Amino acid sequence: MKRTSKQAFIFLLFSFVFSQDYSPVNIYWEPEFPNKGDKVTIYADVSDSDFRYAYQINIHFSTDLQNYSTYAMNRDYGSGMFIWTYQYDVKEDTYFEIGNNDNANLNTITIKSSDVNPFIPVKDFLLSKDYGRAITLLENISSDYPNQEMASDAEFMIAEIYLNDFKEYKIASDYYASIIDNYSKSFSSVKKSMFTLGYIYANYLEYYSDAIAIYRQFKATYPNDALLPSVDYELNLLSDIEKSINSLLNSSK
């Protein structure tokens, strides 16, 4: 649930026009991250405002801040005694104002339904080291954008958390392998996953044969990539191990 004190997919612009006369109304909406075309339920919590006993509260919609359409909000007793709601289909950038008469102007909130960046709140959680909530949001992004590059980026960030913050190399490697198997090789996160997976196999998990195979897959998939010198360096380090592995395999025949 989105509240006016947070920044995520929705950017808020407050205008307390009657700050000397009225206590503020707490405005929020769900879903927390609406996409274009979503039905958004807008809430006005007037329990701490001078409108708590109002018999009607109106909501005024506009897409250009010049022409408005006014609708009556409904009390939502299931959410609270002083909660008013209205449902709105977000189809483009939309502004709305909430007040107890047709000319009221308590708050102006801009809902941005296009060009949203779902990773903004994730980065906030990472900065505060709240990894659990960051991973939950990333999993939601992956589910909301199936097969898209945004989903692969979200899963890559989860893998990076397990690799760098939790030092859970096996879990991280499973995420990288899944990204490689399930997304387009044109995605940047797939290329980075392939290189990182080879490094984990070689330097943390000691899966040397798997590391060699992944590095060779990288060279075949991205023959002109800037990471090739690093891949060749890793393969050179693994060459003696590969010879030993081949020698053992041959001796067992």
- pLDDT band for position 96 (50/70/90)? confident
- pLDDT band for position 10 (50/70/90)? very low
- pLDDT band for position 253 (50/70/90)? low
- Residue range 120-251 in CATH 1.25.40.10: yes
List, in order, residues 6 or more apart from 243 with CB less than 8 Å away.
none
Radius of gyration of the chain (CA): 26
Residue 127 CA to residue 161 CA, distance in Å, equals 12
pLDDT value, residue 246:
65
| CB contact at 8 A, 60 and 69 | yes
What are φ and ψ of residue 8, in 5° steps? -145, -125
Q: Work out the average pLDDT over 239-247.
A: 73
- Higher model confidence: residue 147 or residue 170? 170
- Higher model confidence: residue 63 or residue 116? 63
Average pLDDT, the chain: 81
Domain at 2-111, CATH homologous superfamily: Macroglobulin (MG2) domain (2.60.40.1930)
| CB contact at 8 A, 190 and 183 | yes
Within the chain, which residue ranges are assigned CATH 1.25.40.10?
120-251
Q: Work out the average pLDDT over 38-54.
A: 86
Residue 70 CA to residue 82 CA, distance in Å, equals 20
Residue 204 CA to residue 60 CA, distance in Å, equals 59
Residue 124 in tokens: 């906030």
pLDDT value, residue 119:
87
This prediction's pTM: 0.56
Hunting for tokens 């250009």 — which residue is that?
64
